[in-house]
């Protein structure tokens, strides 16, 4: 190829083509940029105003003292955070949240796994069973609160009556310091079960039959097949469910608030988010609530990063 | 389908011992899980004296449909129902529209800043709503949208999870399809509306169910944003009525039953999509 001087007069045909092509590429690029932004803008504006700005505001608020009617802003540095570390109710809320997580996550996962394994055994009526376990998932917390508070009502509740007949020394489940949290935990396990089960069942059904057949040919027992085929193949799904369960446990609010409003008897069911709600919405100490929110945000961020490391953005499988 | 149907019919005669045990265990578990709902439905057909009988009974001694006839006058049930429908339906429709527009942008165009914006979407996806609800409340208040449908719906007009999910789905649709239309001079909006959207039916249905179910059931958000009875949605309204004014418990159970019914019926008809949307929600929660 000979080098052509790139002057206007001396342009050769290939040069002109290349320039024309460049022009088209630029036009296409401009067009793509224009339409790209146009299509994305409505979502980005909404997210900016209602998601990103509130996050930034959380941080700012946590460094201020919130004045209910005062117009001026009072900066207090890390005072809210200092207060937070000395607040016994914050400590209680963290302890309760950790206890809740330590009980509800393993229990609902193990029961869900057992149910999923059973359903995976080609039992007849699988869709009916699945629908039954799924019912609490589609019920709102308002319905759940209405039903369970009544069932556990010491004066008229059927379950309260049955549990006292069974020798449990309380009838006032949700009003008793010792039993309020266990009751909330049991109801949460009941509510989360179907959700976990459906994901685990999808994972189980994703294991190719050939692995089981190969294991059978090798004379592997049922237990050996479970141990050496099911468990390792299910691990990604299992870890996934585990981490999202932990993350959502740290943010538990609805069931706790509707079953035992304002943290339950002697704050025995107070969790991090119910305490944020109490401080921010009920007491209107918005700065203090924001500082607790920032701490929770940090925790969730760490958990999410762990999740991302483990999954490298697990794609949605439809 | 046909052949599995036939096999299922013959199955009961060839059940192994293990399967029989599993069916028994599953049946017991299913009864335990469904029990509160069974009790709820039975109680909604009770007379008040029956509701308070001691020891409590599961099945009504005498059946009545009073609760279902009185609920409309005793609780502004129709209003709550309508509010829920406007809120959940509005969010679902608007969010499906905006999510899919953004997803179209992310999957079809290459422009400076695109990846940075997508990372922002992913950050929004991970953020717990509970952490920001107070500043969010202040924002809605400053916009003068408290206690309005605008205040309920606009902050949810788009959803990071929806953008993410649809972008993944759109990326799987061959580009040749829209490039061919582009060469024929079709506008971008035409390609989006007439090529991409019709090909995304299942993904949109799944996401639509997710949006609808999430907002229909949502408790904290309508509780925060609505202030008057006239604006309450079903979950927020029922919860308040439980706390304050309700004298008739059968009525409350009838309300709970009626609130659950639309989702339950939808679930029966579209179990597959519900299950899919739940499997995907894993990414969101």
Three-state SS string over chain B comes to CHHHHHHHHHHHHHCCHHHHHHHHHHHHHHHHHHHHHHHHHHHHCCCHHHHCCCCCCCCCCCCCCHHHHHHHHHCCHHHHHHHHHHHHHHHHHHHHHHHHHHHHHHHHCCCCCHHHHHHHHHHHHHCCHHHHHHHHHHHHHHCCCCCCHHHHHHHHCCCHHHHHHHHHHHHCCCHHHHHHHHHCCCCHHHHHHHHHHHHCHHHHHHHHHHHHHHHHHCCHHHHHHCCCHHHCCHHHHHHHHHHCCCCCHHHHHHHHHHHHHHHHHHHHHCHHHHHHHHHHHHHHC
Q: What is the pLDDT of residue A1?
A: 44
Token digits for A88? 């016994």
Q: What is the pLDDT of residue A10?
A: 58
Q: Are residues B98 and B154 in the same domain?
A: yes
Q: Are residues A205 and A128 in the same domain?
A: yes
Q: Do B285 and A146 touch (CB under 8 A)?
A: no
**What distance in Å separates the CA atoms of residue A205 and residue A211, rounded to the nearest whole number?**
12
Answer for the pair A46, B98: CB distance below 8 angstroms, yes or no: yes
Query: What digits encode the pLDDT tens for the residues A198-213?
Result: 888 888 888 888 888 8
**What distance in Å separates the CA atoms of residue A167 and residue A161, rounded to the nearest whole number?**
10
Q: Are residues B148 and B260 in the same domain?
A: yes
**Does residue B95 belong to the interface with chain A, where contact is any CB pair within 8 Å?**
no
Question: Considering only CB atoms, which chain A residues are within 8 Å of B270?
Answer: none
Is B112 part of a structural domain of the chain? yes
Question: Considering only CB atoms, which chain A residues are within 8 Å of B99?
Answer: 43
The CATH number that applies at residue B135 is 1.10.3720.10
Q: Are residues B56 and B147 in the same domain?
A: no
Number of domains in chain B: 2
Which ipTM was obtained for this model? 0.82
Q: Do A147 and B37 touch (CB under 8 A)?
A: yes
Q: How confident is the model at residue B251 (pLDDT cuts 50, 70, 90)?
A: confident
The CATH number that applies at residue A117 is 1.10.3720.10
Q: Are residues A188 and A45 in the same domain?
A: no
Question: Considering only CB atoms, which chain A residues are within 8 Å of B227?
Answer: none
What number of other Cβ atoms are within 10 A of residue A224's Cβ? Answer: 13
**Does residue B36 belong to the interface with chain A, where contact is any CB pair within 8 Å?**
yes
pTM metric for this prediction: 0.82
Residue A45 predicted with pLDDT over 90: yes
Q: Give the mean model confidence (pLDDT) for residues B266-285.
A: 68
Is B11 part of a structural domain of the chain? no
In A, minimum Cα distance to B54 occurs at A156
Q: Do A49 and B139 touch (CB under 8 A)?
A: yes
Q: Do B19 and A161 touch (CB under 8 A)?
A: no
Q: How confident is the model at residue B2 (pLDDT cuts 50, 70, 90)?
A: very low
Listed by number, the residues of chain B in 4-33 with a beta carbon closer than 8 Å to a beta carbon of chain A are 8, 11-12, 15, 18-19, 22-23, 25-27, 29-30, 33
Q: How confident is the model at residue B285 (pLDDT cuts 50, 70, 90)?
A: very low
**What distance in Å separates the CA atoms of residue A316 and residue B27, rounded to the nearest whole number?**
32
Q: What is the pLDDT of residue A90?
A: 94
- Mutation to test the B interface, candidates A42, A48, A51, A289, most B Cβ within 10 Å: A51
Range of the domain at B239: 76-281
Q: Are residues B214 and B101 in the same domain?
A: yes
Q: How confident is the model at residue B143 (pLDDT cuts 50, 70, 90)?
A: very high
Q: What is the pLDDT of residue A270?
A: 94
End-to-end CA distance of chain B: 34
Q: Are residues B43 and B150 in the same domain?
A: no
In A, minimum Cα distance to B204 occurs at A318
Q: What is the pLDDT of residue A15?
A: 76
Is A247 part of a structural domain of the chain? yes
- Gap from B70 CA to chain A (nearest CA, Å): 18
Is A67 part of a structural domain of the chain? no
Q: What is the pLDDT of residue A69?
A: 61
Q: Cite the beta strand spans of chain A per DSSP E.
A: 64-65, 74-75
* Distances, alpha carbon B150 to alpha carbons A130, B65, B217, B243, in Å: 37, 37, 18, 27
Range of the domain at A128: 80-310
Angle among Cα A167, A172, A175 to the nearest 5 degrees reads 140
Listed by number, the residues of chain B in 143-202 with a beta carbon closer than 8 Å to a beta carbon of chain A are 154-158, 160, 163-165, 168-169, 188, 192, 202
Q: Are residues A17 and A156 in the same domain?
A: no
Q: Do A254 and B238 touch (CB under 8 A)?
A: no
Q: Are residues B142 and B38 in the same domain?
A: no
User: Who's near A35: CB < 8 A, 6+ residues apart?
Assistant: B105, B109, B188
Residue A314 predicted with pLDDT over 50: no
- Gap from B141 CA to chain A (nearest CA, Å): 12
- Gap from A293 CA to chain B (nearest CA, Å): 5
Q: How confident is the model at residue A187 (pLDDT cuts 50, 70, 90)?
A: very high
Q: Give the mean model confidence (pLDDT) for residues A40-68.
A: 89
Is A1 part of a structural domain of the chain? no
User: What is chain A's length?
Assistant: 318
Percent of chain B with pLDDT over 90: 38
Q: Do A301 and B282 touch (CB under 8 A)?
A: no
Token digits for A97? 């949240």
Q: Do A289 and B134 touch (CB under 8 A)?
A: yes
Token digits for B50? 């029956």
Q: What is the pLDDT of residue A70?
A: 59
Q: What is the pLDDT of residue A244?
A: 78
- Gap from A216 CA to chain B (nearest CA, Å): 17
Q: Are residues A185 and A42 in the same domain?
A: no
Q: Are residues B58 and B127 in the same domain?
A: no
Angle among Cα B132, B133, B135 to the nearest 5 degrees reads 70
Is A288 part of a structural domain of the chain? yes
Query: What digits encode the pLDDT tens for the residues B146-184?
Result: 999 999 999 999 998 889 888 888 988 888 888 889 888
Q: Do A296 and B128 touch (CB under 8 A)?
A: yes
Residue A317 predicted with pLDDT over 70: no
Q: Are residues A102 and A58 in the same domain?
A: no
Is B2 part of a structural domain of the chain? no
């Amino acid at each position: 190829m000979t080098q052509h001087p790139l002057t206007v007069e001396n342009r050769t045909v290939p040069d002109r083509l290349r320039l024309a092509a460049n022009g088209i590429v630029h036009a296409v690029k401009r067009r793509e940029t224009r339409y790209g932004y146009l299509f994305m803008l409505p979502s980005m504006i909404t997210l900016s105003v209602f998601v990103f700005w509130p996050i930034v505001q959380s941080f700012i608020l946590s460094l201020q003292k919130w004045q209910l009617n005062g117009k001026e802003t009072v900066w207090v540095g890390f005072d809210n955070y200092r207060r937070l570390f000395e607040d016994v109710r914050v400590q209680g809320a963290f302890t309760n949240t950790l206890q809740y997580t330590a009980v509800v996550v393993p229990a609902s996962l193990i029961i869900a796994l057992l149910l999923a394994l059973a359903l995976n055994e080609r039992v007849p009526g699988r869709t009916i069973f699945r629908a039954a376990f799924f019912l609490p998932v589609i019920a709102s917390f308002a319905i759940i609160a209405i039903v369970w508070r009544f069932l556990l009502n010491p004066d008229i509740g059927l379950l309260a009556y049955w549990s006292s007949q069974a020798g449990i020394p309380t009838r006032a489940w949700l009003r008793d310091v010792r039993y309020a949290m266990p009751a909330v935990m049991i109801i949460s396990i009941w509510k989360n079960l179907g959700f976990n089960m459906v994901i685990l069942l999808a994972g189980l059904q994703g294991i190719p039959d050939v692995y089981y057949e190969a294991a059978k040919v090798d004379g592997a027992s049922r237990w050996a097949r479970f141990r050496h085929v099911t468990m390792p193949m299910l691990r990604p799904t299992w870890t996934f469910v585990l981490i999202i369960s932990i993350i959502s446990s740290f943010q538990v609010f609805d069931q706790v608030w509707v079953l035992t409003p304002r943290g339950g008897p002697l704050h025995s069911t107070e969790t991090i988010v119910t305490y944020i709600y109490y401080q921010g919405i009920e007491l209107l100490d918005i700065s203090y609530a924001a500082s607790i929110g920032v701490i929770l945000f940090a925790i969730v961020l760490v958990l999410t990063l762990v999740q991302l490391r483990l999954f490298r953005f697990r794609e949605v499988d439809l | 389908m046909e052949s599995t149907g036939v096999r299922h019919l013959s199955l009961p005669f060839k059940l192994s011992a293990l399967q029989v045990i599993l069916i028994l265990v599953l049946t017991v578990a299913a009864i335990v899980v469904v029990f509160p709902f069974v009790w709820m439905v039975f109680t909604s057909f009770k007379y008040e004296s029956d509701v308070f009988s001691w020891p409590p009974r599961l099945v009504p001694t005498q059946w009545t449909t009073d609760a279902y006839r009185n609920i409309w006058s005793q609780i502004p049930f129709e209003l709550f129902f309508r509010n829920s429908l406007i809120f959940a339906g509005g969010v679902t429709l608007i969010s499906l529209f905006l999510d899919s527009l953004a997803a179209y942008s992310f999957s079809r165009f290459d422009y400076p800043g695109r990846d940075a914006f997508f990372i922002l979407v992913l950050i929004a996806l991970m953020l717990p709503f509970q952490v920001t609800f107070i500043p969010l409340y202040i924002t809605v208040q400053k916009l003068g949208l408290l206690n309005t449908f605008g205040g309920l719906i606009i902050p949810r007009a788009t959803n990071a999870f929806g953008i993410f999910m649809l972008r993944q789905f759109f990326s799987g649709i061959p580009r040749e399809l829209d490039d061919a239309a582009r060469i024929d001079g079709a506008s971008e909006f035409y390609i989006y509306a007439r090529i991409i959207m019709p090909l995304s039916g299942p993904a949109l249905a799944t996401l639509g169910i997710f949006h609808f179910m999430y907002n229909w059931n949502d408790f904290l958000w309508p509780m925060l944003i609505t202030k008057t009875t006239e604006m309450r949605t079903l979950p927020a309204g029922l919860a308040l009525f439980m706390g304050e004014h309700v004298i008739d418990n059968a009525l409350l159970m009838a309300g709970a039953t009626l609130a659950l019914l639309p989702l339950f019926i939808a679930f029966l008809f579209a179990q597959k999509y519900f299950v899919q949307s739940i499997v995907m929600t894993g990414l969101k929660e």
